[in-house]
Amino acid sequence: MVSAALLFAAQAVAAADAPPTITDSRGRVVTLQKAPQRIVSLLPSLTESVCALEQCQRLVGVDRYSNAPASVRALPQVGGGLDPNIEAIVALKPDLVLLAVSSRAGARLEALGIPVVALEPKTHADVRRVLGQIGVLLGLPPAAADRLWREIDAGVQAAAQSLPQRAIGARVYFEVSRGPYAAGEASFIGETLIRLGARNVVPAALGPFPRLNPEFVVRADPDVIMVGNRSMQAMAAYPGWQAMRAMKADRVCVFGPEQSDVVVRPGPRMAEAARAMAQCLSDKIR
Amino acid sequence: MKPRVWLLGCALLVAGCVLLALGAAIGSTGLDSLTAMRSDPVAWQIVWDIRLPRTAGAWVCGALLGLAGAVAQGLFRNPLADPYLLGSASGASLGTALALLVAGRSASRAMSTDWLVQLGVTGAAFVGAVLAVLLTLMLARGAQHTLRLLLGGVIVGVVLGAAKDLVTLAAPHILEAMQGFTLGSTAFLGWQAVSLMAGLLALCLLVSRLLAPVLDGLALGESTAASLGLALPALRAALVAVLALCTATAVAHAGLIAFVGLAAPHLVRPLVRSTHAALLMLSAGMGGVLLMASDLLARGLFAPQELPVGVLTALIGGGYLLWLMHRRGGRR
C-alpha cells in the first residue's frame, strides 16, 4: 500500500526531479533513473510519437518499418517487430527501448539490463495516453504532451469541419486488406470516420478488423469505398461488386503506400489521416 | 462391386446439387436474398454473381484437389501423398506474396502497367505453382524416379517457402492477405474463374481417366507395370502434368486449401473397392462435396464474418478420418 502510494506520488511529480515512472501496456511499472538520451524504438507509431514530442534527436535506432518523419530513415535499423536484432540493439547502448506488447524482444532485452517499455496504441484514447506516457519517460513537462494532443485533436476537428454538408453522414466501407478485411467502427480508422461524421457500414459488434463475406458489402451498399493500398481491391474487385453504386460512380479512394501508413497507424499523424479521409469524402461525394 | 461405384457416384452428385442449392441460400444475409431475388436487383446480384459462382467454384476446386490427390497417391504409391507434394504450394505462395508486394507498392490504377499487377494474384500464384513443379522435375531429372521426385518436391517446397517468408518479412502489411491465401478462400471466385476451372477439370478428368490403367499397373510395382508393356516414362510425365495442372489451378483460385486432396481418396476407398478409373472420378466428386460443405459452414457459422475455409476442410475431413480409424481400430 505504502509503496503504491509512493509510486502515485512519484508519478505526480515525475516532471520534476524525481525519476520518471510509468505503468506500460503490459501492466509493468517502469522507473528510469534519469531521462533517457539514447532511445531505440521498435514500433513506427512510437517512433512518430517521440518525434512529434520534438525529441527525435534522442532516437539512436529504429525498426525497419519506421519511416516517418523522414529524419529517422537515416538512423540504424535494428530489425523488425517480428525479428528484432538483439545484438544490434545492445550495441547501440540504449537507455530505453520502446516496443510493442507483442514483441518478443522485451524479456531478452530486460534480462540484458536494458530498460524496456511496451506501449501499443490502438485507439484515439490510446494515442493520447501513450503521448502522455512517453512525455513522462522523456522527462518533459506534462504540458508538452497535452499541448501536442490538443493540436492533434484540433486538427481532426478541423478536418471534420472542412467537410461540405453533402458529405456528412456518408456511408463508408474501409478495406484494410485483401480478404476482405474491413476496418469496423471499433477500429482506430473507424474512430476517425466517426469523428468525420461518416457512418461505417461495418458495425462495432463485428470487432475492429473483421474478415467479411463480400456480399455483406454489396448488401450494405456504401456511398464511398476507401481502400488501403495493402488491398488489391483497386486492381481486382470481388465478383459481383461491379454493379455496386460506389463502384459504378467510381467513388473509390485508394490510399497509396505513404498515405496508407498515415491512415492506418494509430499515432500522432491521425490529424493528417483525418484530412486524407475528409479529402476523399469531399472529392467523391458531389 | 460395380453397382456400388454407380451408387456412390450418384450420391455424391445429389449431395453436390443439394449443397449448391443451400449455397445459394447461405451468406451474410441468409434466405431473404433468395426470396427477394425477382424484385430486388441487389438480391439477384448477391445470389447470381456472388453466392452461386463461389459455391460452384468450391465444388470445382475441391474436385480438382480430390483428383490431384488420387493421382498423387497412385503415382507415388503412397497413401500420404497429397497434391502439394511437388512444391506447388510453396511456389504458389511465393507468387502470391510477390504479387501482393508489387500491388502494395503501386499506388493506384494508373500504375497497374506493372506486369505482376496485370497478372494479378491468381495468375501469379498459378505461374508460381507451375514453375515450382518444373523446378522439382529439373532437380529430379524427369519423372522417372519416385524417390528423387519426392525429395526434389520437399527441397523446392522448403526453399520457396523460405523465399516467401523473406518477402513477407520485408513487407509485413501483406501478412493478413497472405494468411487469407494460406488458409484458403472462395471469396474471389466469379463466373469467369469457375468456367476456367471447370474447363481444366474436364480436361484433367479425361486425361486421368485415360491414364487410370497406368496407376493400376503402378500399384503392382514398377517392374510389373513395365512388364505389362506400359511406356512408363512418358505416361508418368503425363500424370505429373495432370497433377501439377489440377493443383496449380485450384491453388491459384482458392488458396492453399488443406487436406481435401489427401482426404478425398481415403474417404472413397472404404466405401467402394475399385480400380483407379472409378477411384479418380469418385475422389473428384468427394473432394468437391467436401470443399463445398466446408465453404458453406465457413460462410454460415459466423455470418457476416467468414472463417478461412481451409480450417474447416481439415476439421471435417480430418474428423471423419479420425472417426473411421477409431472405428476400425475398435473392430480389430
pLDDT for B76-98, tens place per residue? Answer: 888 888 899 899 999 999 998 88
Provide mean pLDDT across the span B66-83: 90
Q: What is the DSSP letter of B305?
A: B
Q: Which domains does chain A have, with CATH numbers?
A: 2-120 (3.40.50.1980), 164-284 (3.40.50.1980)
**With an 8 Å Cβ cutoff, are B176 and A230 in contact?**
yes
Burial of A1 (0-12, 13-18, 19+ CB in 10 A): exposed
3-state secondary structure of B17: helix
> Which pLDDT value is given to residue A179?
80
> Which pLDDT value is given to residue A17?
59
Q: Does any CB of chain B come closer than 8 Å to the CB of residue A243?
A: yes
Provide mean pLDDT across the span B142-167: 90
Q: Which of A211-220, A244-253, B321-330 has the lowest mean pLDDT?
A: B321-330
Task: Characterize the bridge pairing of strands A21-23 and A29-31.
Answer: antiparallel
- Residue B145 falls inside a structural domain: yes
Provide mean pLDDT across the span A37-51: 94
Contacts of B97 (CB under 8 A, 6+ apart): B164, B167, B168, B174, B178
Q: Does any CB of chain B come closer than 8 Å to the CB of residue A12?
A: no
Contacts of A53 (CB under 8 A, 6+ apart): A131, A134, A135, A138, A140, A144, A145, A148
Q: How close does chain A come to B156, measured CA to CA in Å? A: 24
What is the distance between the alpha carbons of residues B73 and B267, in angstroms, rounded to a whole number? 13
Q: What percent of chain B has pLDDT over 70?
A: 94
Q: How close does chain A come to B199, measured CA to CA in Å? A: 19
- Residue B107's pLDDT band, with cuts at 50, 70 and 90, is very low
- Chain A CB contacts of B103 under 8 Å are 229, 232, 235
- Chain B CB contacts of A179 under 8 Å are 176-177, 180, 185, 187
**CB-CB: which of B103, B187, B193 is closest to A235?**
B103
- Residue B224 falls inside a structural domain: no
- Chain A CB contacts of B308 under 8 Å are 211
- Residue B118's pLDDT band, with cuts at 50, 70 and 90, is low
Tell me which range, A118-127, A252-261, B321-330, is most confidently predicted by mean pLDDT: A118-127
**With an 8 Å Cβ cutoff, are A179 and B50 in contact?**
no
Whether pLDDT at A161 is above 80? yes
Contacts of B104 (CB under 8 A, 6+ apart): A229, A230, A257, B171, B173, B174
Higher pLDDT, A214 or B231: A214
Q: What is the pLDDT of residues A178-192, one digit of tens each?
A: 888 899 999 999 999
Q: How close does chain A come to B124, measured CA to CA in Å? A: 13
Provide mean pLDDT across the span B110-114: 45
Q: Does any CB of chain B come closer than 8 Å to the CB of residue A67?
A: no
Higher pLDDT, A13 or B276: B276
Chain A residues 20-49 within an 8 A CB cutoff of chain B: none
Residue A236 zone, left/alpha/beta (φ > 0; ψ -120 to 50; rest): beta
- Residue B109's pLDDT band, with cuts at 50, 70 and 90, is very low
**CB-CB: which of B51, B54, B305 is closest to A210?**
B305
Q: What is the mean pLDDT of chain A?
A: 87
**Side chain identity, residue B237:** A
Provide mean pLDDT across the span B272-285: 91
Q: How close does chain B come to A211, measured CA to CA in Å? A: 6
- Residue B331's pLDDT band, with cuts at 50, 70 and 90, is low
**With an 8 Å Cβ cutoff, are A232 and B120 in contact?**
yes
Higher pLDDT, B17 or B110: B17
Looking at the structure of chain B, the number of domains it has is 1
Q: How close does chain A come to B185, measured CA to CA in Å? A: 8
Whether pLDDT at B304 is above 70? yes
Q: Does any CB of chain A come closer than 8 Å to the CB of residue B295?
A: no
Q: Does any CB of chain A come closer than 8 Å to the CB of residue B51?
A: yes
- Residue B113's pLDDT band, with cuts at 50, 70 and 90, is very low
Question: Do residues A196 and A278 lie in contact, with contact meaning Cβ atoms separated by under 8 Å?
Answer: yes
Neighbours of B14 (CB within 10 A): 11
- Residue B230 falls inside a structural domain: no
Q: Which of A169-183, A189-203, A226-240, B171-185 has the lowest mean pLDDT?
A: A226-240
> Which pLDDT value is given to residue B121?
80
CATH number of the domain within which B316 lies: 1.10.3470.10
B193 → chain A, closest CA residue: A239
A240 → chain B, closest CA residue: B49
Q: Does any CB of chain A come closer than 8 Å to the CB of residue B105?
A: yes
> Which pLDDT value is given to residue B117?
56
Whether pLDDT at B225 is above 70? yes
What is the distance between the alpha carbons of residues B181 and A217, in angstroms, rounded to a whole number? 20
Whether pLDDT at A229 is above 90? no
What is the distance between the alpha carbons of residues B99 and B168, in angstroms, rounded to a whole number? 11
> Which pLDDT value is given to residue B209?
92
> Which pLDDT value is given to residue B160?
95
**With an 8 Å Cβ cutoff, are A82 and B172 in contact?**
yes
Q: What is the mean pLDDT of chain B?
A: 86
Q: Which of A16-25, A99-108, B39-48 has the lowest mean pLDDT?
A: A16-25
> Which pLDDT value is given to residue B24?
86
**With an 8 Å Cβ cutoff, are B28 and A178 in contact?**
no
Higher pLDDT, A229 or A72: A72
Whether pLDDT at A14 is above 50? no
Q: Which of B292, B300, B285, B332 is nearest to B316 (CA)?
A: B292
C-alpha cell at B240: 505429373
- Residue B111's pLDDT band, with cuts at 50, 70 and 90, is very low
- Chain B CB contacts of A215 under 8 Å are 27-29, 33, 46, 50-51, 304
Q: How close does chain B come to A16, measured CA to CA in Å? A: 40
- Residue B110's pLDDT band, with cuts at 50, 70 and 90, is very low
Tell me which range, A186-195, B22-31, B219-228, is most confidently predicted by mean pLDDT: A186-195
What is the distance between the alpha carbons of residues A54 and B115, in angstroms, rounded to a whole number? 43
Q: Does any CB of chain A come closer than 8 Å to the CB of residue B103?
A: yes
- Chain B CB contacts of A245 under 8 Å are none
Query: Cell 481491391 sits at which residue?
Result: A233
Q: Does any CB of chain A come closer than 8 Å to the CB of residue B31?
A: no
**CB-CB: which of A65, A236, A254 is closest to B108?**
A254
> Which pLDDT value is given to residue A201?
94
Q: How close does chain B come to A192, measured CA to CA in Å? A: 20
**With an 8 Å Cβ cutoff, are B53 and A239 in contact?**
yes
- Residue B222 falls inside a structural domain: no
Task: Characterize the bridge pairing of strands A96-99 and A171-177.
Answer: unpaired
Name the pTM for this structure.
Answer: 0.84
Chain centre distance of CA A153: 14
3-state secondary structure of B302: coil
- Chain B CB contacts of A181 under 8 Å are 176, 180
**With an 8 Å Cβ cutoff, are A239 and B49 in contact?**
yes
- Residue A236's pLDDT band, with cuts at 50, 70 and 90, is low
- Residue B233 falls inside a structural domain: no
- Residue B17 falls inside a structural domain: yes
Q: Which of A123-137, B126-140, B178-192 has the lowest mean pLDDT?
A: B178-192
- Residue B24 falls inside a structural domain: yes
**With an 8 Å Cβ cutoff, are A219 and B299 in contact?**
no
Whether pLDDT at B115 is above 70? no
Residue B254: domain span: 2-207+239-331
> Which pLDDT value is given to residue A32?
87
Question: Do residues B277 and B212 lie in contact, with contact meaning Cβ atoms separated by under 8 Å?
Answer: yes
